[in-house]
Amino acid sequence: MFRDRMSEEELTLNGEQTNLKKYVEDVGGIHGLREVHKVRGWNNIQYGAGLSAKNTPSTKLSMNKAFIPPGGIAKAHIHVDFDVMVFLLKGSVRHEFGPGCRNSVVHSAGDMFYIEPGLPHEVFNCSETDWVEAIVSRSDATEWQNIVPYDRESE
């Protein structure tokens, strides 16, 4: 069921490593990120710079704006020992989840949802023409270090 951790490699949209600190303003204990644009990608999803241990002193939380392209799929994976909450801003996603990812649920713009630690899931943009935009909050300041790929055929 579990394979090795997903690659921590994250690239800017032009294929280079990115310094996420350059996007954040520290005004003396409050760290701000303005005008979140797509600047990096991971697991077929594009992200803004976000806030995490990569660019703030955070030790327990991270938050990002995620963008899933039309027809895009975030490959099946599991969040190991951390919570995820999502606020869907634009578009609709279908989650296939559980053992073998045989269950399914659709969420649309305005919905919020919580993904339990350890739950296998794969995320699909329901539209072939429109981008999905969402705010993703994790109880893991490292963002993707504790995510493992999931083989849908393993169960």
Residue 8 confidence class, pLDDT cut points 50, 70, 90:
very low
* Lowest-pLDDT range of 86-90, 131-135, 137-141, 151-155: 151-155
- Residue with token string 């027809």: 71
DSSP state for residue 38 in the 8-state scheme: -
Of 73, 89, 94, nearest to 135 (Cα)? 89
Q: What is the pLDDT of residues 86-110, one digit of tens each?
A: 999 999 999 999 999 999 999 999 9
Which domains are present in the chain? Answer: 11-154 (2.60.120.10)
Q: Is the pLDDT of residue 14 over 90?
A: no
DSSP state for residue 51 in the 8-state scheme: B
On whether the CB atoms of residues 125 and 155 are closer than 8 A, the answer is: no
Residue 4 burial by CB count (10 A; 0-12/13-18/19+): exposed, middle or buried?
exposed
